[in-house]
Structure 1
Amino acid sequence: MPIDYNQSGPRSEKRAKRRKTNIILNSLIAIVIILILLVGKNIFFSNPKSEPKQTSGQEIENKEEKSKGNEEKAVDEDPKEQSDKGEQLNNEEETNNSGNIEQESNEPNVEKVIVNPDWKPVGTVQTGHQPSYEMGSVDWEEKEKAAAYAIDAPVENMTTWWLRRGEDPENQSILTVSANGSSDTYEVYIEWVDGEGWKPTEVKKLIENDRK
């Protein structure tokens, strides 16, 4: 039987093309695998695990030492801070409690004069103002309240030795008072503020009680 060369030629060409294609595909696959291996090696082996552990351990120790140092420093500074705060509180208390401006006086029987810009009217239950110098009246009691406020004493623990008119008899009065159990005697000047009551304006600490 004669050989058909026309049929065997195309088949051999197809086989040759398939072989070339397979070789190319296999080569590409091999290249991809090699690249994957190289990348994986760089990821897993470029930064050894032992070094980060040592570094992190050193950082932790350094942080702990720094933290302890800060705590020790804070402990050392606490007494000073507490002392400063204590002094600040004491100063505030002195300002709030006394808040007074004291001046020596050359007046007879006056040891010193005291004023306080923070003094306020003590309030009133009066409608309008009904000035009175009668003991036990509403106006009298409100005057005593203002005097007690000025010398920082409870009104029920204060003795009023004398109450007299000021330069403006309806709106100014002067009381001589002392706190019970105290030898200090004061002359308290007060003035009327409409709708707000009597307000201390000046206190004179007397050398001796001249109203007994």
Structure 2
Amino acid sequence: MANTQRRYTSRSNRPKKPSTNTILNALIGIVIVLIIITAGFIFIGNDDEPEKADSTKDTESAETADGSEAEEDVDPEDQIGSEPIAEEEATEDSESSEEEATEEESTTTEDSTTGGTVTSTPSDDPLVSERIVNTGWKPVGTSQTGEHTSVYTEGHVDWDEKLKAMAYTTGLAADNMIVWRIENGGSPQKSIGVVSSNDKKEKYRVYLEWVDGEGWKPEKMETLKTLDGAY
């Protein structure tokens, strides 16, 4: 019994070896710590990158703001939008110039004979040199009574009164006037006559309108460039 007790005592005094579980637990702990440290570095790095990105964006925004301010006076949209306005202004100026030119070409004089205002306007008609209107023109008088009927027969009183009105309008004397044509002027009480001087240097187309009780009154006279096609 004594020997046995000694052997037991001897076993209990030997140093104990660490168990396998303890080693595994320690390794697991080390791995967890490493994971935590690695994750910390990752998160910290991600936090720095957004800050850098934000800083870069702020710099670009500042540069863009400066650039936009510098280019504010030459905005392409403003330039494009201004082109039609410039074209419209140019068109308006052109039209105004044309109107002014037309007004300058039209001449207005005072007729001492009739006391009216004579307006002469150039014409685009290839047959017509100018159109003349005189506010002083009066009806030439008539011997006709009752309801008026326009007549285009030579020798008739109405025909003769038309000739009188055209001589009055053109200033041609009766013996120095060739009547090329007298026709209806678009209504029963209007007539148009084409006349010239005997030498055909003076050529006119006269527009007449009947005034009841007063006779034929000139409305307008055209100075002709040629008689061809004028009647």
TM-score by length of 2: 0.48
Deviations along 1:126-160, one digit per CA (max 9) or x if unpaired, are 01313101111111110011011000122232111
Q: Structure 1 residue 96 and structure 2 residue 115: aligned?
A: no
| Greater Rg by CA | 2
Counting only pairs closer than 5 Å after superposition, residues 125-164 of structure 1 correspond to structure 2 as 125-128=143-146, 129-164=148-183
Q: Report the CA distance between 1:97 and its aligned residue.
A: 4.5
Counting only pairs closer than 5 Å after superposition, residues 1-212 of structure 1 correspond to structure 2 as 95-97=111-113, 99-128=117-146, 129-168=148-187, 170-210=188-228
Amino acid at match of 1:96: S
SS of equivalent to 2:112: helix
Amino acid at match of 1:145: K
Relative contact order (alpha carbons < 8 A, sep ≥ 6): 1 or 2 greater? Answer: 1
Runs of 5+ unmatched residues, structure 2: 1-108
CA distance in 2 between partners of 1:190 and 1:175 (Å): 8
CA distance in 2 between partners of 1:97 and 1:153 (Å): 15
Partner of 1:48: none
CA distance in 1 between partners of 2:127 and 2:200 (Å): 18
Deviations along 1:38-70, one digit per CA (max 9) or x if unpaired, are xxxxxxxxxxxxxxxxxxxxxxxxxxxxxxxxx
Q: Report the CA distance between 1:180 and its aligned residue.
A: 2.7
**Is the CA contact (8 Å cut-off) linking 2:178 and 2:196 kept in structure 1?**
yes
Deviations along 1:72-93, one digit per CA (max 9) or x if unpaired, are xxxxxxxxxxxxxxxxxxxxx9
Partner of 2:65: none
Q: Report the CA distance between 1:197 and its aligned residue.
A: 0.1
CA distance in 1 between partners of 2:118 and 2:198 (Å): 21
Q: Report the CA distance between 1:167 and its aligned residue.
A: 1.0
Runs of 5+ unmatched residues, structure 1: 1-92
Deviations along 1:78-124, one digit per CA (max 9) or x if unpaired, are xxxxxxxxxxxxxxx97314852100011231110000000000000
- Across the two proteins, how many residue pairs are aligned to each other? 119
> After TM superposition, where is structure 1 displaced by more than 4 Å over at least 4 residues in a row?
none
CA distance in 2 between partners of 1:162 and 1:185 (Å): 12
Partner of 1:27: none
Amino acid at match of 1:206: L
Amino acid at match of 2:144: Q
Deviations along 1:144-189, one digit per CA (max 9) or x if unpaired, are 1101100012223211111111110x20000000123451210000
Q: Percent identity?
A: 44
